[in-house]
Chain A
Amino acid sequence: MLYDALRFYPGGDRAIEVELGDGMDFTINFIVHRLVAAVRQAQIAAIQDLIPELASFQVNYDPDVMSYEDLCAEIGQIYEQLGRGVTGSLPSRLITIPVLYYDDETTACIDAYRKSYPDKVPDSDLICELNGLSDRAALMRRHSGTEYWVAALGFWPGLCSLLPLRPQCRIIAPKYNPPRTHTPKGAIGIGGALTCIYPDATPGGYQLIGHTPAPTYDGEQRLPDFKDSLALFRAGDRVRFAPVGAEEYRDIQAQVAEGTYRHDIIDYQVFSVDLYLDWAKAQEAAA
Chain B
Amino acid sequence: MSRSFVTLKPGLQTCVQELPGRIGFLEQGFPLSGPFDSWSFRQANLLVGNDRDAAALECQFVGPTLKLDADCLVAVTGGDMRPTLDGSPIPMWTTVAAAAGQELALGAAMTGARAYIAISGGIATEPVLGSRAVFHQAGVGGRALVPGKVTPLGDATADRTVWTIPEESRPEFSRDKTWVVEALAGPNDDWLSPDTVQTFFSSDWRVQAKSSRTGIRLTGPEFAFSERATNKNADHGQDPSNIIDHGYPMGAVNLAGQTPIILVNDAPSTGGFINPFTVASAAFWKLAQAKPGEVLRFRRVDRDEAGVLRAALDMLTRPEVLQRA
Nearest CB on B from A26, distance (A): 13
* A17 x B303 contact (CB < 8 A): no
Tell me the bound Cα distance from A17 to B279 in angstroms: 15
Per-position 1/0 for B262-295, Cβ under 8 A of A? 0000001111100100111110000000000000
Q: Flag if B29 contacts A68 (CB, 8 Å).
A: no
Q: Are A161 and B278 in touch, CB under 8 angstroms?
A: no
Q: Which residues of B contact A231 (CB under 8 A)?
A: 28-29
Contact A15 B28 (CB under 8 A): no
Which of A54, A155, A161, A231 has the most chain B CB atoms inside 10 A of its CB?
A155
Q: A154: which of B139, B249, B269, B278 is its contact (CB, 8 Å)?
A: B269
Of A19, A23, A161, the residue contacting B233 (CB under 8 A) is A23
User: Is B246 positioned at the interface, with any CB of A under 8 Å from its CB?
Assistant: yes
How distant is the Cα of A49 from the Cα of B188 in the complex, in angstroms? 20
Q: A11-B252, A156-B29, A157-B138 are in contact. Are A192 and B272 (CB under 8 A)?
A: yes
Q: Decide yes or no: A175 and B27 within 8 Å by CB, A15-B249, A22-B233 being known contacts.
A: no
Residues of B within 8 A of A55 (CB): 244, 246
Contact B249 A48 (CB under 8 A): no
Chain A contacts with B in 151-193, Cβ cutoff 8 A? 152-159, 161, 174-175, 177-178, 191-193
* Complex interface: chain A residues within 8 A of B246 (CB): 17, 19, 53-56, 58
Q: Is the CB of B187 within 8 A of A10?
A: yes
In the complex the two chains form, what is the Cα distance from A10 to B187 in whole Å? Answer: 5
Tell whether, in the assembled complex, residue B188 and residue A9 are in contact, meaning their CB atoms are under 8 Å apart: yes
Near A by CB (< 8 A), chain B positions 286-323 give 303, 306-307, 310-311
Q: Which of B46-54, B150-158, B235-243 contacts A (4 or more CB under 8 A)?
A: B235-243
Q: Does A51 contact B (CB under 8 A)?
A: yes
* Interchain CA distance A11-B188 in the complex, whole Å: 9
Q: A12-B184, A51-B247 are in contact. Are A154 and B27 (CB under 8 A)?
A: yes
Residues of B with C-beta under 8 A to A156: 29, 138, 268
Quote the shortest CB–CB distance from B199 to chain A (angstroms): 20
Q: How far is the CA of A153 from the CA of B247 in the complex (A)?
A: 10
Complex CA gap A49/B129 in Å reads 14
Within 8 A of B (CB), among A190-219: 191-194, 199-200, 219
Which secondary structure dominates where chain A touches chain B? loop
Mark B24-41 against chain A: 1 for CB-CB distance below 8 A, else 0. Answer: 101111100000000000
Which chain A residues lie closer than 8 Å to B184 at the CB level?
10, 12-13
- Decide if A12 touches B249 in the complex (CB within 8 Å): yes
Is A63 close to B, CB under 8 A?
yes
C-alpha gap A118/B49 in the complex (Å):
59
Given contact pairs A24-B244, A155-B29, A12 touches B310 in the complex (Cβ within 8 A): no
B245/A17 in contact, CB under 8 A = no
A119 CB within 8 Å of chain B: no
Q: Could you say which of A10, A12, A54, A229 contacts B245, with CB atoms under 8 Å apart?
A: A54
Whether A10 lies near B26 (C-beta < 8 A) is: no
CB <8 Å contact, A158 and B28:
yes
Bound CA–CA A231/B27 (angstroms): 11
Question: For A19, what are the chain B residues with a Cβ–Cβ distance below 8 Å?
Answer: 246
How many angstroms from the CA of A161 to the CA of B310 in the assembled complex?
35
Task: Determine how close the nearest CB of chain B comes to the CB of A119; give it in whole angstroms.
Answer: 16
- A24 to B24 CA separation, bound complex (whole angstroms): 25
Q: Tell me how far the C-beta of A160 lies from the nearest C-beta in chain B, rounded to whole angstroms.
A: 9
How far, in whole Å, are A155 and B269 apart by their CA atoms in the complex? 5
Bound-state CA distance A22–B54 (Å) is 42
Apart from A14-B250, A155-B271: 19 A-B pairs, beta carbons within 8 A: A9-B188, A11-B249, A12-B186, A12-B281, A22-B232, A23-B235, A50-B27, A53-B246, A54-B246, A60-B250, A63-B310, A64-B310, A152-B270, A153-B28, A156-B268, A157-B28, A175-B272, A192-B272, A219-B140
Top 5 A-B residue pairs of the complex, sorted by shortest distance between their CB atoms = A58-B247, A154-B270, A11-B249, A12-B278, A9-B187
